Chain A
Amino acid sequence: GAVVSQHPSWVICKSGTSVKIECRSLDFQATTMFWYRQFPKQSLMLMATSNEGSKATYEQGVEKDKFLINHASLTLSTLTVTSAHPEDSSFYICSAPPTTQETQYFGPGTRLLVL
């Protein structure tokens, strides 16, 4: 199957700082990528849909000014958590569907801990 990577795999930061998470499709191009968040013992919750060359689409209740998404190329989407607070601590996962397939492939996730 197709491979999606994320960087970093984990990050610890101080409250008030910003953190950038990268999502890359390694062997295919993706015009669309998705960002999910998962709290402990809960399911994945879709945060936003990242579209190459245009603005991201955010799910209801997700602050677009806090979670900045940039999809600058067909293989890279970034999620920036601005002014992070302890309640933003979570497992962030991206996914990408190859344009020629019906299946989405997920990255390994990024664990964020805000102190």
Chain B
Amino acid sequence: DAKTTQPPSMDCAEGRAANLPCNHSTISGNEYVYWYRQIHSQGPQYIIHGLKNNETNEMASLIITEDRKSSTLILPHATLRDTAVYYCIVRGAQGGSEKLVFGKGTKLTVNP
């Protein structure tokens, strides 16, 4: 079973920031938080991951609470192409060879 809880759906206006929450209250000290997204009928796309520090890349920012029990993915200026299902996944630190367990994710709809 997935170790994360996400709202089933969210809406966001184009050009505004999209903040997607994720609860992972049972996360262990050596487990990472990963975010992927899946645009309709495509394979998932990696977005970002982190352990305990906040992370930022060209796609998004990841804010992890100090107790690591929740996190927020931020898309700073959402576009229509960001409409997708976003998956928050907790995974151990065994490198890329450890399997990913997908939950139901959050369906983000960016509206014009």
Q: Which residues of A contact B (CB under 8 A)?
A: 1, 4, 6, 31-32, 34, 36, 43-46, 49, 91, 93, 95, 97-99, 101-109, 111
Q: Which of A6, A43, A97, A108 gathers the greatest number of chain B CB atoms within 10 Å?
A: A43
**A95 proximity list for chain B (CB < 8 A):** 43-44, 100
**B93 proximity list for chain A (CB < 8 A):** 102
The CA-CA distance from A97 to B95 in the complex, in Å, is 8
With A43-B104, A102-B32 known as contacts, the answer to whether A32 contacts B45 (CB < 8 A) is no
Contact assessment for A101 and B99 in the assembled complex, using a CB-CB cutoff below 8 Å: no
Interface residues on B, range: 20 to 34
Q: Which residues of B contact A (CB under 8 A)?
A: 32, 34, 36, 38, 41-46, 49, 87, 93, 95-97, 99-105
**A4 proximity list for chain B (CB < 8 A):** 43
**A99 proximity list for chain B (CB < 8 A):** 96
**B49 proximity list for chain A (CB < 8 A):** 102-103
Contact partner of B96 among A46, A91, A97, A108, CB < 8 A? A97
Contact assessment for B46 and A105 in the assembled complex, using a CB-CB cutoff below 8 Å: yes
Contact assessment for B45 and A106 in the assembled complex, using a CB-CB cutoff below 8 Å: yes
Contact assessment for A104 and B105 in the assembled complex, using a CB-CB cutoff below 8 Å: no
Contact partner of A46 among B45, B100, B104, CB < 8 A? B100
Contact partner of A31 among B32, B36, B97, B105, CB < 8 A? B97
The CA-CA distance from A40 to B41 in the complex, in Å, is 10
With A1-B46, A102-B95 known as contacts, the answer to whether A109 contacts B41 (CB < 8 A) is yes
**B42 proximity list for chain A (CB < 8 A):** 108-109
The CA-CA distance from A101 to B34 in the complex, in Å, is 13
The CA-CA distance from A52 to B43 in the complex, in Å, is 22
With A102-B49, A103-B49 known as contacts, the answer to whether A108 contacts B99 (CB < 8 A) is no
**Of all chain B residues, which has the CB nearest A106?**
B43
The CA-CA distance from A105 to B96 in the complex, in Å, is 9
Contact assessment for A32 and B97 in the assembled complex, using a CB-CB cutoff below 8 Å: yes
The CA-CA distance from A97 to B43 in the complex, in Å, is 14
Contact assessment for A98 and B96 in the assembled complex, using a CB-CB cutoff below 8 Å: yes
Q: Which of B38, B41, B42, B96 gathers the greatest number of chain A CB atoms within 10 Å?
A: B96
